[in-house]
Amino acid sequence: MGRKKNFWPYLLVAPALLTVLTVVFIPVVNAISMSFQSYDLRRPSRIGFIGLRNYSEVLSDPLFWQAVWKTVLWVGIGVGFQFLFGFVLALLLNRKFFGRGIVRSISLIPWVTPGVLIGLMWRWIYDGSYGVLNDILFRLGIIRDFVPFLARGETAFPAVILTIIWQGIPFFALMILAGLQGIPEELYDAADVDGANGVQKLFRITIPSLKNVIFVTTLLRIIWVSNSVDVIFNLTEGGPAYATQTLSVYVFNKGNSLNLGYAATMSILLALMLSSVAIVYLRRIFRSQEGAR
Amino acid sequence: MRTTPSGAVKSLASYLLLAAMLIFLLFPFYWTFVTSVKPESELYGKTVTYWPKQATLESYRRLFSDYNFIRPMTNSLIVAASTTLVSLTVSLLAAYAFSRFQFKGRKFLMTLFLTNNMFPTVLLLIPLYAIMRKLGILYTPFALILAYTTFTIPFSIWLLNGYLADLPPSLEEAAMVDGANRAQAFTRIVLPVLMPCIVATGAYVFMTSWNEYTFAVMFTNEANRTIPVSLKNLIGQLGVEWGMLTAGGIVTIIPVCFMFFFAQKRLIEGLTAGAVKG
């Protein structure tokens, strides 16, 4: 019986493990080995081991550092505002009002919309000749002439960030809203007795109670947003003049232009940066699991 | 809630804020829809209209007759349905093992599945392309199904593990005392109880694969292109066909919205359970 018990769980996990190993482990090893090779499919005769040359080239590539900086801004501002607006939306949706169920459902639609479609929808909204954003701003008297938002470096980057904020609000709202249901009502009643005001209740009860949810969702979101290619690619393809090229978009563009060694090197550097985020996440999870036992 | 005058002002303010946020979140969809039913002349007219003077389904007709949008829809359906089936089967087995057995390496394996989602998609993209070419499955639906399971399996395991953990093992144990073996106890007792959660997880997997673009653009060709790639391809050398593109967008999100509305309650439970318990 004891033996049987030992072998069953492994058998059950095996198919999942096998699939994931084939599709993740082997590619990761491949990517690492590619990063030490000159691997440009446009020059197949020159494919071969070149040691750390890709790394030194990447690290002295100004476009790489620009992409790193863009990624930091993209993630920092993007996820920051997603969280802020998502939190506010969750608090608003937590109030009782007529039609709350429907409002909750429809406000989450951006989260289930394909990234491509998001990119394309917003590209049409930002359009310089027929775009509705231009029309609204024009009618309000904020602009005198239509602005080609995505064709100008200084407006293109804020525009793609606004789009990713729009996409991420529902996810945060969804998670925080669910978290709010778990806060015991008595805590607020006790605070009322003590004469606490709304702001005090928010900072002393609501936010501390949601600490776990906020932490995990923010980290997950950081990872997703830094990996996301589809929204930017379909809005601007990284342009104009690399103004919206984050690191993952840069890797994607290099991969498309078949310089695989270079792209692999950058993707490994991106993975290393993200794993510092992932380590924080995992340590936290294990601590909470130990605590639960 | 007490209804003092200041309370009334406060709730009015919060309704206004809610309305503003909803307009921000939903306006792009409204705009996409309006664009899809405008005639060409109005789309690129002198003034921007907020409701079509003359609504027409011409863009939809062209999408299906000239552009043959049925084909990418069928491809997407095949890929998404197969991915859902594969992920659910495989993840259900693994999640059952994680939630019902204590075994050596359990923690390590769970971590492995968790960290799996943290690799940048673009890191996998390039080597996977080479692997798929070698296996001879590049430009077939199998390439996408295999690629999508990388991120759907770990997530499904995570969700299903959360649901299973909430299900008392005594349910199956009772059945096993009555003479059923573990497999019977699982199919007769656990599976029916867990069904709503499985459906919710399946809906999530389906939506993810239905929406995916980055792998799809690399691993498909003309014949087996999925919806996201086809949408993007409507941006051609001759400029963008916004009428058709928005019509395609509307057609794409309708099934996803339906699934989401049905699955959302369980899905939210599962997601947050995972987030809180880790």
Domain ranges of chain B: 25-56, 68-277
The first and second tokens of residue B214, run together, are: 């980055």
The answer to whether A234 contacts chain B (CB < 8 Å) is yes
Angle between helices A247-256 and A62-93 (to 10 degrees): 130
Asked if omega into B39 is within 30° of 0 (cis), the reply is no
From B1, B97, B149, residue closest to A19, measured CB to CB: B149
Q: At the fourth CATH level, which superfamily is domain B68-277? A: MetI-like (1.10.3720.10)
Question: DSSP string of B139-190?
Answer: TSHHHHHHHHHHHHHHHHHHHHHHHHHTS-THHHHHHHHTT--HHHHIIIII
The residue behind tokens 């900072």 is: A203
pTM: 0.87
Q: Quick check: B232 and A108 CB within 8 A? A: no
- On whether both A221 and A287 belong to a single domain, the answer is no
The answer to whether A170 contacts chain B (CB < 8 Å) is yes
Q: Are B172 and B182 in contact (CB under 8 A)?
A: yes
**Average pLDDT for chain B:** 85
pLDDT at A273: 87
Q: Quick check: B246 and A124 CB within 8 A? A: yes
pLDDT at A293: 44
- On whether both A181 and A116 belong to a single domain, the answer is yes
ipTM of the complex model: 0.87
- The pLDDT-based confidence of B238 (bands split at 50, 70, 90) is low
Residue-wise pLDDT for B206-225, tens only, equals 988 998 998 998 899 888 89
> Distance between CA B50 and CA B28 in Å, rounded?
12
DSSP secondary-structure letter at A202?
I
Q: Quick check: A24 and B127 CB within 8 A? A: no
Q: Is residue A40 situated within a structural domain? A: yes
Q: Are B148 and B79 in contact (CB under 8 A)?
A: yes
Residue-wise pLDDT for A265-291, tens only, equals 998 899 888 888 778 777 776 676 555
- Count interface pairs A-B at CB distance under 8 A: 280
Q: Are B198 and B187 in contact (CB under 8 A)?
A: no
- On whether both A86 and A211 belong to a single domain, the answer is yes
Q: Is residue A187 situated within a structural domain? A: yes
Q: CATH number of the domain at A118, please.
A: 1.10.3720.10
The amino acid sitting at B269 is E
Closest-CA distance of chain B to residue A74, Å: 16
Q: Which residues contact B47 (CB under 8 A, 6 or more apart)?
A: A135
Could you give the 3-state DSSP secondary structure of residue A36?
coil
Closest-CA distance of chain B to residue A187, Å: 15
- On whether both A49 and A134 belong to a single domain, the answer is no
- On whether both A165 and A266 belong to a single domain, the answer is no
B239 φ/ψ sector (left φ>0, alpha ψ -120 to 50, else beta): left
DSSP secondary-structure letter at B242?
H
- On whether both A216 and A78 belong to a single domain, the answer is yes
The percentage of chain B sitting over the pLDDT mark of 70, rounded to a whole number, equals 94
pLDDT at B99: 86
In this prediction, residues B174-201 reach a mean pLDDT of 85
Q: Is residue A7 situated within a structural domain? A: no
Return the number of other C-beta atoms located less than 10 Å from residue A76's C-beta.
13
- On whether both A139 and A266 belong to a single domain, the answer is no
Residue B239 has pLDDT above 80, yes or no: no
The more confidently predicted of residues B216 and B122 is B216
pLDDT at A71: 94
pLDDT at B190: 86
- The pLDDT-based confidence of B267 (bands split at 50, 70, 90) is confident
Q: Which residues of chain A have pLDDT under 70?
A: 1-5, 285-286, 288-293
pLDDT at B5: 67
The answer to whether B70 contacts chain A (CB < 8 Å) is no
Q: Is residue A17 situated within a structural domain? A: no
pLDDT at A2: 44
The more confidently predicted of residues B252 and A256 is B252
From A116, A123, A278, residue closest to B213, measured CB to CB: A116
- Count of domains forming chain A: 2
Exposure letters B51-87 (e unless 16+ CB within 10 A, then b) = ebeeeeebbbebbbeebebebbbebbeebbbbbbebb
- On whether both A156 and A203 belong to a single domain, the answer is yes
Q: Is residue A188 situated within a structural domain? A: yes
pLDDT at A289: 57
Q: Which residues are registered as beta bridge partners of A99?
A: none
The answer to whether A156 contacts chain B (CB < 8 Å) is no
Q: Is residue A21 situated within a structural domain? A: no
Closest-CA distance of chain A to residue B155, Å: 11
Least confident range from A42-46, A262-266, B55-59, B96-100: namely A42-46
Q: Are B16 and B31 in contact (CB under 8 A)?
A: no
Q: Is residue A162 situated within a structural domain? A: yes
Question: Could you list the residue range(s) of the whole structural domain that residue A175 is in?
Answer: 63-237
Q: Sort A287 into a burial class: Cβ within 10 Å, 0-12 / 13-18 / 19+.
A: exposed
pLDDT at B263: 80
pLDDT at A192: 87
Chain B, 234 to 263: residues with Cβ < 8 Å from chain A are: 235, 240, 242, 245-246, 249, 252-253, 256-257, 260-261
In this prediction, residues B24-41 reach a mean pLDDT of 91
Least confident range from A139-148, B66-75, B267-276: namely B267-276
Q: Quick check: B18 and A92 CB within 8 A? A: yes
Q: Are A20 and B150 in contact (CB under 8 A)?
A: yes
Q: In angstroms, how far is the first alpha carbon of chain B from the final one?
A: 34
User: Mutation test of the interface with chain B: which of A47, A104, A117, choosing the one with the most B Cβ atoms within 10 A?
Assistant: A117
Residue-wise pLDDT for B137-157, tens only, equals 989 999 999 999 888 898 888
- On whether both A95 and A222 belong to a single domain, the answer is yes
Exposure letters A177-191 (e unless 16+ CB within 10 A, then b) = bbbbeeeeeeeeeeb
